[in-house]
């Protein structure tokens, strides 16, 4: 059996150790001969890489391992690039969240002004990684989950149409695990779903078990009472802010009781509520820096110091096993059904063909085949048209260096109340992002 070579771009990510442990846990299904880390921050990556070396020595000494900042080393002879970079790191995430709040708008990593600012940083960096892959391993596949995935996906569609790229998000997977738990199933894999939307902006319209029994009524009832909060606390993200997001899904679902929604829609439906409960001096970025980042880097340093991972509390990110499913689908032509962010091209029949939409696809060695979801209702169509226009305008603004288009994008965002607020925001965001954005004219 072929042993695959994997490049993890964003080797210094807080998610890297969980993904490595997950890959090691799945070697029978997906054999690996080589893992390479690539990051543009050598020091940050060194801590995660140092711990990974110890972990591999103990669990899988046959896998060769390199951590590098050199693109040629990282991207040569690779089969899959798993990309989760964060352009500007948490310092810039903090600004993406705090600057909008200063203007009375939702401050969020991927939605509204924060997502637009992050998009303008991410596009160039992700395209650069794709170019490295295309230069050094042109047959490889690029599995992207770098955010904001909606904007990055549109940029890859438009600017790298011939590269092998799959854009994916773990939010629907996380929510499906909660749904499965709420109705007493062992795993989300017992469910087959129909879903449509944009990334962080979608709805489940049909959920069945493998025999075809309709599970949606039960799930709808649970969500209408409790959102996605379930009794099994091990499934919840441990932070309070995530639990309040899962609870708020109840109010999001009330807008269309026939379906169940993606949690991210709360930022578009209840922005006033979100702003009111935000602390402009301590946002999710601070929570992550004080929580996940300290924990992961602390545990990795401990592994390095002790020379063993046997006392480590780092855990397998089970949740991330969709990454193996995706790689296996390509490698072995499994035709697994997965939600991906793909060019619409008729999958939603009454929606813009060139929009990047999130829909179920069959994934095989030729890539994804989107499954048709038919016509969508006026409410969702209206919301999605507005949001997809924002995403496309951001990519055009990046491409053309256009101040005007970025102002239009911010003005069109449902989260921003007026063109004046959009302009004030834009001025602040330009200043904060001057080391990252292309110059706007």
Identify which of residues 63 and 198 has a Cβ nearer to ligand G6P in the complex.
198
Q: Single out the residue of 192, 186, 195 nearest to residue 214, CA to CA.
A: 192
d(CA 208, CA 219): 11
| Contact (CB, 8 A) for 202 and 172 | yes
Judged by CB under 6 A, the chain residues 155 through 184 that form the site for ligand NAD are 169-171
Q: Is 93 annotated as a binding residue?
A: yes
Instruction: Please give the torsion angle defined by the CA atoms of residues 199, 200, 204 and 207, in that order, rounded to the nearest 10 degrees.
Output: 90
- φ and ψ of 7, to 5 deg: -110, 125
Does residue number 15 form part of the binding site for ligand NAD (CB under 6 A)?
yes
| 13, two tokens | 């990510």
Name the binder of 284 from ligand NAD, ligand G6P, Mn ion, none, CB < 5-8 A by kind. Answer: ligand G6P
Question: Among all chains, which residue has been given the structure tokens 């004080």?
Answer: 290
| Contact (CB, 8 A) for 408 and 424 | no
Identify which of residues 39 and 343 has a Cβ nearer to ligand NAD in the complex.
39
Residues tagged active-site: 170, 264
Number of residues that bind Mn ion (CB under 5 A): 2
Would you call the peptide bond into 106 cis, given omega within 30 degrees of 0 as the criterion? Answer: no
Cβ-count burial 380-417 (b if 16+ within 10 Å, e if not): beebbeebbbbbbbbbbbbeeebeebbbbbbbbbbbbe
Binding residue for Mn ion, selected from 126, 169, 376, 397, defined by CB under 5 A: 169
d(CA 21, CA 299): 14
Q: How far is the CB of 174 from ligand G6P (least distance, A)?
A: 6
Q: How far is the CB of 290 from ligand NAD (least distance, A)?
A: 13
Identify which of residues 79 and 299 has a Cβ nearer to ligand G6P in the complex.
299
Binding residue for Mn ion, selected from 171, 185, 255, 289, defined by CB under 5 A: 171
Number of residues that bind ligand G6P (CB under 6 A): 7
Query: Looking at 79-87, 259-267, 270-278, 367-375, which segment touches ligand NAD (CB under 6 A)?
Result: 79-87
Q: How far is CA 65 from the centre of its chain?
A: 26
Query: Looking at 87-95, 266-274, 380-388, 399-407, which segment touches ligand NAD (CB under 6 A)?
Result: 87-95
Number of residues that bind ligand NAD (CB under 6 A): 24
Which residue has the CB atom at the shortest distance from ligand NAD?
Answer: 12
Q: If residue 113 lies in a helix (H) or strand (E), which one and from where to where?
A: helix 112-136
Binding string, 193-232, against ligand NAD, x = CB under 6 A? ----------------------------------------
Which residue has the CB atom at the shortest distance from ligand G6P?
Answer: 171
**Beta partners for residue 359, in sequence order:** 340
Q: How far is the CB of 242 from Mn ion (least distance, A)?
A: 13
Q: How far is the CB of 171 from ligand NAD (least distance, A)?
A: 6
Question: Among all chains, which residue has been given the structure tokens 């001096």?
Answer: 281
How many residues are given for the chain? Answer: 441
Q: Is 361 annotated as a binding residue?
A: no
Judged by CB under 6 A, the chain residues 307 through 366 that form the site for ligand G6P are none
* Strand-by-strand arrangement of the 80-83 sheet: 64-68, 32-38, 4-9, 80-83, 141-144, 165-167, 336-343, 356-364, 367-370
Strands (E), 380-424: none
Q: How far is the CB of 40 from ligand G6P (least distance, A)?
A: 19
Q: Is 243 annotated as a binding residue?
A: no
Residue spans of alpha helices (H) in 162-262: 171-182, 216-226, 240-253
Judged by CB under 6 A, the chain residues 164 through 203 that form the site for ligand G6P are 169-171
| Contact (CB, 8 A) for 87 and 122 | yes
Q: How far is the CB of 279 from Mn ion (least distance, A)?
A: 23
Binding residue for ligand G6P, selected from 147, 253, 380, 413, defined by CB under 6 A: 147
Query: Looking at 146-154, 245-253, 329-337, 354-362, which segment touches ligand NAD (CB under 6 A)?
Result: 146-154
Rounded to whole angstroms, what are the CA distances from 439 to 18, 115, 243, 279, 410?
37, 18, 39, 31, 17
Binding residue for ligand NAD, selected from 25, 27, 31, 44, defined by CB under 6 A: 44
Identify which of residues 215 and 341 has a Cβ nearer to ligand NAD in the complex.
341
Does residue number 288 form part of the binding site for ligand G6P (CB under 6 A)?
yes
Binding site for ligand NAD (CB under 6 A): 9-10, 12-15, 39-41, 44, 84-87, 89-90, 125, 145-147, 149, 169-171
Binding site for ligand G6P (CB under 6 A): 110, 147, 169-171, 284, 288
């Amino acid at each position: 059996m072929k042993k695959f070579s994997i490049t993890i771009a964003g080797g210094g990510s807080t998610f890297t150790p969980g993904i490595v442990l997950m890959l090691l846990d799945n070697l029978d299904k997906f054999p690996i001969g080589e893992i390479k880390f690539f990051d543009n921050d050598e020091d940050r990556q060194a801590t995660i890489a140092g711990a990974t070396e110890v972990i591999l020595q103990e669990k899988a000494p046959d896998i060769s391992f390199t951590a590098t900042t050199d693109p040629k080393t990282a991207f040569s002879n690779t089969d899959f690039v798993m990309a989760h970079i964060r352009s500007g790191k948490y310092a810039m995430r903090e600004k993406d969240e705090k600057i909008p709040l200063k203007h009375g708008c939702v401050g969020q990593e991927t939605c509204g002004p924060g997502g637009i600012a992050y998009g303008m940083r991410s596009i160039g960096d992700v395209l650069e990684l794709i170019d490295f892959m295309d230069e050094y391993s042109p047959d490889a596949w690029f599995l992207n989950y770098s955010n904001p995935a909606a904007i990055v996906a549109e940029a890859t569609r438009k600017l790298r149409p011939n590269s092998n790229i799959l854009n994916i998000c773990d939010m629907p997977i996380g929510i499906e695990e909660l749904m499965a738990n709420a109705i007493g199933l062992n795993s989300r894999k017992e469910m087959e779903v129909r879903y449509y939307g944009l990334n962080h902006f979608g709805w489940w319209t049909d959920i069945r078990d493998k025999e075809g029994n309709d599970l949606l009524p039960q799930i709808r009832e649970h969500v209408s009472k409790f959102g996605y909060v379930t009794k099994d606390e091990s499934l919840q993200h441990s932070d309070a802010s995530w639990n309040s997001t899962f609870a708020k899904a109840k109010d999001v679902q009330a807008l269309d009781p026939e379906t169940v929604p993606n949690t991210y829609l709360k930022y578009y439906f209840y922005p006033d509520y979100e702003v009111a409960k935000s602390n402009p001096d301590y946002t999710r970025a601070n929570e992550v820096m004080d929580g996940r980042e300290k924990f992961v880097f602390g545990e990795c340093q401990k592994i390095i110091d002790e020379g063993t991972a046997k006392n480590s509390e780092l855990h397998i990110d089970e949740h991330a096993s969709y990454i193996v499913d995706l790689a296996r689908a390509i490698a072995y032509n499994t035709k697994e059904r997965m939600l991906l962010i793909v060019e619409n091209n008729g999958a939603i029949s009454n929606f813009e063909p060139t929009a990047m939409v999130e829909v179920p696809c069959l994934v095989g060695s030729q890539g994804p085949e989107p499954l048709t979801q038919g016509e969508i209702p006026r409410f969702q169509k209206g919301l999605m048209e507005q949001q997809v226009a924002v995403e496309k305008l951001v990519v055009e603004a990046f491409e053309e260096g256009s101040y005007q288009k970025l102002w239009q994008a911010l003005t069109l965002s449902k989260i921003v109340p007026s063109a004046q607020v959009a302009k004030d925001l834009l001025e602040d965001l330009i200043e904060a992002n001057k080391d990252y954005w292309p110059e706007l004219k």
